[in-house]
Amino acid sequence: DAKTTQPTSMDCAEGRAANLPCNHSTISGNEYVYWYRQIHSQGPQYIIHGLKNNETNEMASLIITEDRKSSTLILPHATLRDTAVYYCIGPLLPQGGSEKLVFGKGTKLTVNP
């Protein structure tokens, strides 16, 4: 399974942008990168995904480097409710047709008042 590398933890002030980096150097050309988050033992929540272009939705923005070896998830105005573990998930490998998600340890983001 492809591996991603994320910092263990980060802090952010409420109202400021939170920038969460991820290294996915083994990604290949047609493979997507996904971001999920998990708020304190709740079910993981899908945030955003991307292939090669930058993406934005109502939750976040995703910036992917030109070589596609790393990406940054941006929460433009972090709130206390954004405190969670954020998972950057490498390509879904359709081995035998499965699109299982391979979760690493993620980044524990703490938004401080």
Partner 1 sequence: DSGVTQTPKHLITATGQRVTLRCSPRSGDLSVYWYQQSLDQGLQFLIQYYNGEERAKGNILERFSAQQFPDLHSELNLSSLELGDSALYFCASSVSGGLAKNIQYFGAGTRLSVL
Binding site for partner 1 (CB under 8 A): 30-32, 34, 38, 41-46, 49, 51, 91-92, 94-105
Distance of CA 26 to the CA centre of its chain: 16
* Nearer of residues 20 and 35 to partner 1, judged by Cβ: 35
Question: Least Å distance between CB 19 and partner 1?
Answer: 23
* Nearer of residues 1 and 14 to partner 1, judged by Cβ: 1
Question: Least Å distance between CB 110 and partner 1?
Answer: 19
Question: Least Å distance between CB 13 and partner 1?
Answer: 28
- CA torsion sign for 51, 57, 59, 64 is positive
No. of helices (H) and no. of strands (E), the chain: 0, 9
* Nearer of residues 75 and 92 to partner 1, judged by Cβ: 92
In sequence order, which residues have a C-beta less than 8 Å from that of residue 94 and are 6 or more positions away?
none
Nearest Cα to Cα of residue 109 among 8, 36, 23? 8
